Amino acid sequence: MVGVSVLVGPLAYMAEGQAGVLRALAAALLCLACGLMAIALRVWFTSQNNPLAGLLGSMAVRFFPPLVLCLLIAIKRPDSDFFVFVGSLLMYYLVALAVESILAVQESQKNPLPQELT
């Protein structure tokens, strides 16, 4: 996330000044919070021997809050300049998705499924 912030921060500042940087920060915090909740949900369901529910639940937690927020912004303020926020959100979302996927693969390699679930 820090690496993306180094890229997004100056671009957001050039596009919208301090407001753009704050919008990019809000996008980063939203993606970080959703990613952490998704990881926690996946780990909890996997510990309960229900990895499919963990996978589906983590996808929902990771995907729906940013989607709903973008839809609300588009509906409530269609004339506003939230391009920096949406662009930052997409960049942070993709990085968070990649990191979460790597962590999920590493976790599944450490803790394979029990024999009765395969």
Tens of pLDDT along 77-103? 776 677 778 888 888 888 888 888 888
Cβ proximity of 93 and 4 under 8 Å: no
pTM (2 d.p.): 0.76
Cβ proximity of 51 and 116 under 8 Å: no
Cβ proximity of 38 and 63 under 8 Å: no
Instruction: Label residue 24 by pLDDT band (50, 70, 90).
Output: confident
Highest mean pLDDT (candidates 38-42, 107-111, 112-116):
38-42
Q: What are the backbone dihedrals phi and psi of residue 113, each rounded to the nearest 5 degrees, phi first?
A: -65, 145
The 8-class DSSP code of residue 38 comes to H
Question: Which structure tokens are listed for 29?
Answer: 């915090």
Residue 6 CB burial class (10 angstroms; 0-12, 13-18, ≥19): exposed
Question: Would the CA dihedral through 41, 103, 105, 68 be positive or negative?
Answer: positive
- Domain ranges in the chain are 2-110
Question: What's the rounded Cα separation, in Å, for the pair 88 and 85?
Answer: 5
Question: Which structure tokens are listed for 79?
Answer: 């004339």
pLDDT at 47: 85
Question: Which structure tokens are listed for 91?
Answer: 């960049």
